[in-house]
Amino acid sequence: MTLKALIFDVDGTLAETEEAHRQAFNETFAARGLDWHWDRADYRRLLATTGGKERMRAFQAELPEGARRLSDDEIAALHAEKTARYGEILASGGLALRPGVAELVELAREAELGLAVATTTNRPNVEALTQCCWGKPAEQVFDVIAAGDEVAAKKPAPDVYRLALARLGLPPRECIAFEDSHNGLVSATRAGLAVIVTPSAYTDHEAFGGAAHCVPSLARPDWPPILRAVLLGH
């Protein structure tokens, strides 16, 4: 295998972001006067639905008859407010990259590998994370960013990975994807990619059959042979 690029999922893979997302959702609901509140168990279950707006629709569909219902326009507006709140939370600091991510990205850059993001989240959330964790805009960290609001179907559909590959100008056999979730694994494998999975706090109960490797972290001791060969020369 000739490795030319690494393609990363964002939430749960680059950083354990889901608690910040959950906080942003709950604070936005409260600010709008909604009696919605997602505890950790709720959010773990709702993460099976990819996309924030889609997650709100899934939650609303579970509400009892007579409960307040939001229109699609109201959900879109609420999600925009949540995105802004998420950015504020990350701007206050306190979110760190998962172990090994910073070194992996740095060594990949030194090895002149392409670096891409293929994520269900939107571009503003990617920007918030790179500013928080790298102190740089996303385009200074990654060569390519493919976001969920740019494709017709979100993960587990392969669309966002296909978009990342097209923007990289590379075939899937020359890239490796990094994921933390079953939906992400399915998305990447449907796009023809080999996948390294690092389960996160919210996905450690999921099944990852079909992954090329499943490792506890992206720290150097956990790297599979392909990364060691390309980045460390052994």
CA distances in angstroms from 84 to 40, 62, 77, 125, 222, listed in the order given? 21, 26, 11, 9, 35
The answer to whether residue 11 is catalytic is yes
Assign 222 to helix, strand or coil: helix
Sheet of 194-197, strand order: 144-146, 114-118, 5-8, 175-179, 194-197, 213-214
> Token pair of 173, please?
């056999």
The answer to whether residue 159 is catalytic is no
Q: Are strands 175-179 and 194-197 parallel, antiparallel or unpaired?
A: parallel
Locus of tokens 């020359």:
174
Give φ, ψ of 14 to 5 degrees: -75, -40
> Token pair of 59, please?
């939650």
> Token pair of 193, please?
């990619």
From 9, 72, 143, 149, active-site residue: 9
CA distance 94 to 132: 8
171 contacts: CB under 8 Å, gap ≥ 6: 165, 192
Alpha carbon dihedral 193, 199, 203, 207, in 10-degree steps, equals 60
From 11, 39, 159, 204, active-site residue: 11
Active site residues: 9, 11
